[in-house]
Amino acid sequence: MIAPEIATRAIEIRRDIHRFPELGFEEERTAAIVERELSELGIEHKRVAKTGVVGVIRGGLSGKVAGLRADMDALPLTERSGEPFASEVAGKMHACGHDAHTAMLLGAARVLQASSLRLEGSVVLLFQPAEEGPGGALPMIEAGALDDPKVDAVAMLHVDYRLPTGTIGFTPGICNAAADEFYITVQGRGGHGSAPHTALDAIPCSAAMVLAMQNIAARETDPFKSVVVSIGTIEGGYRNNIIADQVKMSGTFRSQDPEIRETLEGRARRILEGIAAAYQTKVELRVIYGYPPVYNDPMLAATFKAYLAEGHGQLALASPPATMGGEDFAYFAQRAPGVLIRLGIRNEAHGSVHPGHSSQFRIDENAIAYGIQTLVAFARGVGSGSVIGGEANPTSWAGFVTSHNL
């Protein structure tokens, strides 16, 4: 277990960051805290991707290079957690736990730097902006964050309200989903509600489209593959006796297989245009592609679990099911074998029971020591050659333009 003062210091930093949340690519204050701490520890660091920070700890002994990634951004949400250190910025909140991710990585840096003479290999600390959008992972990679020294395996922690404090979770293989947005506009012709034959009604046409879109998941996709097609908004019309000339809809596609993802836009377009033709309306479809899913290298996860079980940590291990959420760590795990580790924070006594992105989200800070311990163990295990990666995400997600996470 790590020394209590390391966790205490990390909790202080977490609360400081929590009180002043910053949105994607605006993390100036947070990045300055990271730089201040790294400088104080004597760890070399540089700015990348506007508000990203990359630090390097060079071990005294030869070995492999571990990458540890923490995201730093907050969400546009007003906090209602009731914590004494709640956000002091109206409309902004650390509701996804990235404040804790940043503080835990600084805690791990402190432990690793203090023992760097005996450390095998090197550790690259990746403090990333804009995970919640528009995405800071790709710009960091493009700025060479994984190249000097070249990272052999990379890990991240994400707090998870489903798992109790003291537990960490691994989901081997694809552990979440590609998250893509779509926008539909149906154009008809307005008229008097008493004379529908003189108009082209956009509302029944849209109703048929909503129902038919369900067939993409229900009738056109292998039942053993995961696809979600959800329409989240529908708006149109003026009042009870006016025929609506236009309806706008928006929704999300979620998928875990690049071949299926490639088909979704075309399938939606075929269905929408077929129905528009039948109803004599016009339809427009716009798709905005988000992050690919995270691929957890099964060998990396398995060797890390074995390393922890050998006494390098006192953590309970869980295998939570995959989710259909999104996370731009996916891009790191395309370049080097990677693992997304879920860190349990559930504690009813502390009210740490709300999901991420809730205004009531709370973190059981007892989890912070376990998170630091996990990051330190990963870095030491990779450096010594005990924790070994198999391959980075072997599936191809080329051709998709990144926009933002959902």
Q: Active-site residues: which are they?
A: 291, 365
Binding segment toward Zn ion, per CB under 5 A, in 24-32, 89-97, 189-197, 377-385:
89-97
Cβ distance 291 to 402 under 8 Å?
A: yes
Pick 59 or 325: Cβ nearer Zn ion? 325
Distance, CA of 274 to CA of 265 (rounded, Å): 14
Pick 24 or 381: Cβ nearer Zn ion? 24
Pick 285 or 322: Cβ nearer Zn ion? 322
Sheet holding 338-346, edge to edge: 44-48, 52-58, 120-128, 61-71, 153-164, 338-346, 167-169, 316-318
**Burial of 395 per CB tally in 10 Å (0-12, 13-18, 19+):** middle
Shortest Å distance, C-beta 254 to Zn ion: 15
Q: Tell me the DSSP string of 133-181.
A: TT-SHHHHHHTTTTBTTBPSEEEEEEEEEEEETTEEE---EE-S-EEEE
Pick 30 or 303: Cβ nearer Zn ion? 30
Pick 95 or 205: Cβ nearer Zn ion? 95
Cβ distance 166 to 160 under 8 Å?
A: no
Pick 257 or 364: Cβ nearer Zn ion? 364
Q: How many residues bind Zn ion (CB under 5 A)?
A: 1
By beta carbon distance, the residue nearest Zn ion is 96
**Burial of 341 per CB tally in 10 Å (0-12, 13-18, 19+):** buried
Binding segment toward Zn ion, per CB under 5 A, in 10-18, 28-36, 91-99, 219-227:
91-99
Cβ distance 61 to 72 under 8 Å?
A: no
Shortest Å distance, C-beta 283 to Zn ion: 32
Cβ distance 50 to 27 under 8 Å?
A: no
Distance, CA of 70 to CA of 125 (rounded, Å): 8
Positions in 320-339 near Zn ion (CB under 5 A): none
Shortest Å distance, C-beta 291 to Zn ion: 11
Shortest Å distance, C-beta 18 to Zn ion: 14
Q: Tell me the DSSP string of 31-66.
A: HHHHHHHHHHHT-EEEEETTTEEEEEEE-SEEEEEE
Residue 288: enclosing H or E segment and its boundaries?
strand 282-288
Shortest Å distance, C-beta 95 to Zn ion: 7
363 is a contact residue toward Zn ion (CB under 5 A): no
Shortest Å distance, C-beta 166 to Zn ion: 21
Pick 95 or 145: Cβ nearer Zn ion? 95
Binding segment toward Zn ion, per CB under 5 A, in 92-100, 109-117, 162-170, 205-213:
92-100
Shortest Å distance, C-beta 96 to Zn ion: 3
In residues, how long is the chain? 406
Binding mask 96-125 for Zn ion (x = CB under 5 A): x-----------------------------
Distance, CA of 82 to CA of 79 (rounded, Å): 8
Binding segment toward Zn ion, per CB under 5 A, in 93-101, 198-206, 329-337, 360-368:
93-101
- The closest of 340, 341, 339, 342 to 391, measured between CA atoms, is 339
Q: Is 65 left (phi over 0), alpha (psi -120 to 50) or beta?
A: beta
Residue 159 pairs in a beta bridge with 343
Q: Which residues bind Zn ion (CB under 5 A)?
A: 96
